[in-house]
Amino acid sequence: MPPRPNIRVLRDIKARQGVVDNEIARRAYLYVARNQTLPAQVRYRAQLQLNTFGRYTRPTTVKNRCTVTGRGRGVIGEFGLCRYQFRVKALAGELPGIQKASW
Amino acid sequence: MKPADTLAKQTAGTNLNTLVGPKSQDTSPSNFDSSSDAPAAQQTAAVTQSPEPISKAQTADLRGITDTSGTPSRQQQQQPAESSTSPTPKREVTTVKPLRGVRINPEERQWHATVVHGRGVLEPYRHPRTHGVPVAFIQFRAHSPGPIQLAAHFASHAAASLGIPISGVVSLPTRRTLWTVPRGPFAHKKSQENFERRVHARAIKAFDADAEVVDRWVRYLEAHALPGVGMRVVRWHRLPVGIGRSHLQSVVGRMRLGRPTDKQKVKELGHRIVEVETQAAKQSDASA
């Protein structure tokens, strides 16, 4: 969470929480909808149920954001930092093992 | 760490006196002998005397040993063979009172006599493998090569002291991760900066030793781990011969197998099934 939270960061947090809460139900419906051996009507109804889930339950809504600035683009997943913050911290020596490359 | 304890356990049965040599000759580097001196004075003499170069007589005694557990005989051979008559200036022995309640272990003292002082600086002695059965595999990983080399060196020396045969220190390939990021917070993609993270790795493989000895070695290394060096240990444990059969027997004993099927019972069951099914069929016909 950045020092002054972004609305986008807050939405992302809400999405993550929603995904965690609804994962089991979503997976169950998804299994039924994708299963070739089940009758077509059952699969269709399962798919309709899936469509009723809101956007804060879908895992595709989740986006890695910079933990310091909240930037959505240019985020390096291993550190959870956007590219500029990664550079700032790396030069300060706060990232273990990272050094300026030269070869 | 008390290498002498484990060493004593491993070399149980061997005559430790042979490691030192006959008492008549001045063999031990620390001048430790069962002379008329009191144990306290002996200990102080050993502590305060400077390490003298090992004479030829001493190396000859130690070379005659076939049992190599804990004896760095190879290191002895590496030392320059000097004549026993070379004049070595001896420092004045100053008596220092030992700590109260210190008990001197004669086995430990004998082992100390075989130790080459300053062997930490030399290449570690590698005990010969008795069977070549791998027992443990230790991997060190660090961001820089200096500490990792020291860690591997330290582990090798510890294994030599415990009598564990090891492979040499293997340098695994260095893994390098590169990130190229723009220098500025916004735009200016043409000016970027490279950052990297290098992970150096070393590996040591241990053979043949008892599980308890390897446990001690691993705990010692964990207790004296270097900062910035990570260690991963893979252990192989020996199981007794016939373990598969005994496992199978214990499992089969728990399962309800092996009772022969009763043909009569199967026939009776078959007849019953036929009766029930025909009755059900008649009822369904009657209702339909």
What is the pLDDT averaged over residues B79-107?
Answer: 65
Q: In chain A, what is the straight-line distance between the N-terminal and C-terminal CA atoms, in Å?
A: 36
Q: Tell me if B257 is assigned to some domain.
A: no
Q: Does A27 touch chain B (CB under 8 A)?
A: no
Nearest CA in chain B to A86: B181
Residue for token digits 């025909």?
B278
Q: Tell me if B97 is assigned to some domain.
A: no
- Supply the range of the domain harboring residue B10: 3-63
- Of B9-23, B95-109, B172-186, the one with minimum mean pLDDT is B9-23
Whole-number percent of chain B with pLDDT over 90: 41
Strands, E assignment, chain B = 134-142, 170-182, 192-207, 229-235
B241-288 per-position pLDDT tens digit: 999 999 888 888 777 666 677 788 888 888 888 888 888 888 888 887
Per-residue pLDDT of chain A (103 residues; tens, 9 = 90+): 888 888 999 999 999 999 999 998 899 899 989 989 988 888 999 999 999 999 999 999 999 999 999 999 999 999 999 999 999 999 999 999 999 999 9
Choose one of B14, B36, B63: the last residue of a domain: B63
> Rounded CA gap, B228 and B231, in Å?
10
Q: Tell me if B43 is assigned to some domain.
A: yes
More confident residue, B114 or B85: B114
- Pair of tokens at residue B49: 């005397």
Q: How many domains does chain B have?
A: 2
* pLDDT value, residue B45: 41
Q: Does A92 touch chain B (CB under 8 A)?
A: no
Q: Does B132 touch chain A (CB under 8 A)?
A: no
Q: Does residue B70 carry a pLDDT above 50?
A: no
Q: Tell me if B220 is assigned to some domain.
A: yes
Q: What is the CATH number of the domain that holds B196?
A: 3.30.70.600
Choose one of B42, B63, B84: the last residue of a domain: B63
- Pair of tokens at residue A4: 């002054």
Q: Tell me if B187 is assigned to some domain.
A: yes
CB B69, CB B116: distance < 8 Å? no
Q: Tell me if B181 is assigned to some domain.
A: yes
Report residue B131's pLDDT band, with 50, 70 and 90 as the boundaries.
very high
Q: Does A97 touch chain B (CB under 8 A)?
A: yes
B1-54 per-position pLDDT tens digit: 444 444 444 443 334 333 433 444 444 444 444 444 444 444 444 444 444 444
Tell me, yes or no, whether B131 and B228 share the same domain: yes
> Rounded CA gap, B7 and B135, in Å?
18
Residues B74, B69, B71, CA angle at the centre, nearest 5°? 40
B230 DSSP β-pair partners: B141
pTM above 0.80, yes or no: no
Q: Does B187 touch chain A (CB under 8 A)?
A: no
Choose one of B209, B235, B261: the last residue of a domain: B235
Q: Does B181 touch chain A (CB under 8 A)?
A: yes
> Rounded CA gap, B75 and B68, in Å?
12
Report residue B96's pLDDT band, with 50, 70 and 90 as the boundaries.
low
Q: Tell me if B45 is assigned to some domain.
A: yes
ipTM of the complex: 0.85
What is the pLDDT averaged over residues B154-180?
Answer: 96
> 3-class DSSP state for residue B142?
strand
Query: Cβ of B197 and A87 within 8 Å?
Result: no
Of B160, B155, B151, nearest to B126 by C-alpha is: B160
- What sign does the CA torsion over B166, B169, B172, B177 have? positive
- Pair of tokens at residue B200: 């150096």
B152-164 per-position pLDDT tens digit: 999 999 999 999 9
For residue A65, give the DSSP letter.
-
Give the domains, in start order, of chain A with CATH numbers: 1-63 (1.10.287.1480), 66-103 (no CATH)
Query: Cβ of A84 and B193 within 8 Å?
Result: no
**Which residue of A69, A83, A85 to mutate against B (max B Cβ within 10 Å)?**
A83
Q: Does A89 touch chain B (CB under 8 A)?
A: no
* pLDDT value, residue B215: 96
Query: Cβ of B193 and A100 within 8 Å?
Result: yes
Q: Tell me if B246 is assigned to some domain.
A: no
Query: Cβ of B193 and A96 within 8 Å?
Result: no
Query: Cβ of A84 and B194 within 8 Å?
Result: no
> 3-class DSSP state for residue B170?
strand
> Rounded CA gap, A58 and A65, in Å?
17
CB B181, CB A86: distance < 8 Å? yes
CB B114, CB B20: distance < 8 Å? yes
Give CA separation, A79 vs A29, A76, A96, in Å: 34, 6, 11
Tell me, yes or no, whether B228 and B149 share the same domain: yes
